[in-house]
Structure 1
Amino acid sequence: MNDENVYWDWRAMQRDGLYPSILAIGDSWFWYPFPGGSLITRLGRLVARKQHTVLVLGNNGAEAFDYVEGKYRKAVREALRLHGSALSAVFISGGGNDFAGFNDLRPLLNDDCAQATTAAACFRTGASSGTLDWLMDKMMASYRTLIGQIMASTPPGTHILLHNYDYARPSGRGVFGKKSAWLKPALDNARVPAALQQACINYLIDRFSAELQAMVAIDPARIWRVDSVGTLADKHWANELHPKSSGFRKIATTCWRPVLRRLGLA
């Protein structure tokens, strides 16, 4: 399966006699299967003029842990072994699924947030299992492992690009107009006031963004965070977690393209 220079299947790439110059390890923002494509299809078009070929690993629903210890561990390591020495860049989209589903988000929230007046007051605190601090530590441990594997398998000039999504909308909208099983159900179950629900999601994304920026400090010459928060309006969202085609295009051109150009990738 491929879309011009973007391949989601290694064998299809081989049949076309191609090898990847960019590896994209990601979740549904790289794998979104609906018309208009995902973020990676937009990024593929940006890097096409530099004759880059993109191989995508991961899948819808992937969590950060899956890339280093879970179901995609073998594929990631094999791709780095086979192609690492020739890669110009590795794009990473991961972490959103670690806190986006009902069973992921609900445990992070206090039992009853009805009296809360700030987003921070809705979240469990401390380092014990199930808190936001615990989750971020767990996610970033996976990021550090993945970044270490990439850096050990690629030349010093290979860039690693991370991104922080955008402020997802707790609208209750799921795929194809169905009710969501992601954000709003968890917030409603915790009795988060309606006026605070968007602030709670923003709080999560801001915390995630700060953690990614700490990953950049590992090697600022090689690791880049593409900051896309605050880019999309309500009209750009197809559902709670995924932009429409116009939204992916806006993030690609507004946020990713300047970074890709600076690195000589687009």
Structure 2
Amino acid sequence: MPQSSALSQRGQFRQMYMGLKAQHRLESTPVILCEGDSWFSTPLAMNLLDWIVSPAPEDEERGVPQFGNGGLFFRVERSGDQAAPQTERPGRSMFTKNNVDDLLGWFTRYAFDAVLLSAGGNDFVDTWLHRALAGRTDLNARQAFDAIVATGRYDEVREAYAYFVGAFHKARPGVPILAHTYDYPRLIGTEAALGLGNLGVAALLKKSMGPWIGPNIEHVIDGGIEAWRAFARLLIDGFVERVLHPLKEDARFGGMFDYVDLRGNLTADAQWHDEMHPTEAGFHELAVIFRTVLLAKLPPGKRGAENDDAIGRRGQGVITA
């Protein structure tokens, strides 16, 4: 059974792609372009994309759909990146002309079968959230959410998504573009636990990660943890209703943009590592859902014969560009 391998250079993607082409294996090997935030890239544990690329051995035993003919993944995701353009760190925005043009150079040169996106969560937290609610007090969850809506942030994120999706759809109209929702966070105010086990020696240089929500709402929203969770649920539902779903229904994209709804699956505190990231097991549970939807969007010859019966093999190639 082929194993996944992580490579660090774009040139290595080119080399592996050309090797598959020379062996006439591109006809059966999915080629996927991945752009995203920490749900695709966090080093704290196996993240959502890691589990999609390299399912657990027990998944195969349980008949969980997997990449039956292997897969070649072009990965450019990075923790902390936002969807919408920003002035503070312009290089950390995904859906900008410079980044889109760069990725389109690869997308139009190689025969990708799908584009995976993980973007939008960082646009509503941290310093932006602090500024959006600055000076507010004694709000309930709904009032705080209404204040977020009034900023126009959802419109900004939707327009940024539309720019990216529109550019990729125009370049290759038949390629599906698949995003995802986030699940409802529970550990509001909890920072990531960093250690040698999840970050290696880099953990010695970082003191903490997060929290990104709790400190910005604890003196604004009354009601404690349950009210804060309610606010986070409203934020995520708003992201779906005001960004992802309108894009899915947008006729300009010919039905090629879709999203995987991951809400409401991780309902226990133990399934969350910190305020915004599930545990490794939590990401694994969500990845099973995501992978099943992705497989259905691939060309039939690239799903793997076993996946017609919901049984597959593990992916073979992972490229981090």
TM > 0.5: yes
Q: Quick one: which of 43, 51, 67 aligns to 1:42?
A: 51
Asked whether 1:231 is paired with 2:265, we answer: yes
Q: Partners in 2 of 1:49 and 1:14 — Cα distance?
A: 22
Instruction: Decide whether the 8 Å contact of 1:107 with 1:131 is kept in 2.
Output: no
* Cα distance change, pair 5–250 in 1 and its aligned pair in 2 (3 A): same
Instruction: Decide whether the 8 Å contact of 1:57 with 1:72 is kept in 2.
Output: no
Aligned residue in 2 for 1:153: 171
Name the larger-Rg structure.
2
Q: Quick one: which of 77, 81, 105 aligns to 1:78?
A: 105
Output the amino acid matched with 1:183. I
The answer for unaligned runs of 5 or more in structure 2 is 21-29, 56-65, 85-92, 195-207, 304-321
Q: Partners in 2 of 1:93 and 1:187 — Cα distance?
A: 24
Deviations 1:57-86 (A, max 9, x none): 231111113223277344323222322xx1
* Cα distance change, pair 217–169 in 1 and its aligned pair in 2 (3 A): same
Output the amino acid matched with 1:78. G
Q: Partners in 2 of 1:222 and 1:69 — Cα distance?
A: 20
Q: Quick one: which of 190, 214, 224 aligns to 2:220?
A: 190
Asked whether 1:139 is paired with 2:139, we answer: no
Instruction: Decide whether the 8 Å contact of 1:67 with 1:76 is kept in 2.
Output: no
Aligned residue in 1 for 2:143: 121
Q: 1:4-153 residue pairs with structure 2 within 5 A?
A: 4=4, 9-17=9-17, 21-35=31-45, 37-45=46-54, 48-65=67-84, 66-69=93-96, 72-83=99-110, 86-101=111-126, 103-109=127-133, 111-114=135-138, 116-117=139-140, 119-125=141-147, 131-132=149-150, 134-153=152-171
Per-residue deviation at 1:131?
4.9
TM-score relative to the length of structure 1: 0.83
DSSP-derived class of the 2:35 partner? strand
DSSP-derived class of the 1:23 partner? strand
Question: Paired residues, what number?
Answer: 252
Per-residue deviation at 1:122?
1.8
* Cα distance change, pair 139–39 in 1 and its aligned pair in 2 (3 A): same
DSSP-derived class of the 1:161 partner? strand
Q: Partners in 2 of 1:160 and 1:17 — Cα distance?
A: 20
Q: Partners in 2 of 1:88 and 1:17 — Cα distance?
A: 13
Instruction: Decide whether the 8 Å contact of 1:113 with 1:190 is kept in 2.
Output: yes
Aligned residue in 1 for 2:296: 262
* Cα distance change, pair 132–12 in 1 and its aligned pair in 2 (3 A): farther
The answer for unaligned runs of 5 or more in structure 1 is none
Q: Partners in 2 of 1:173 and 1:9 — Cα distance?
A: 35
Deviations 1:94-114 (A, max 9, x none): 00010122x122233363342
Per-residue deviation at 1:25?
1.0
* Cα distance change, pair 70–232 in 1 and its aligned pair in 2 (3 A): farther
Aligned residue in 2 for 1:171: 188
Identity %: 24
| 15-24 or 236-245, which deviates more | 15-24
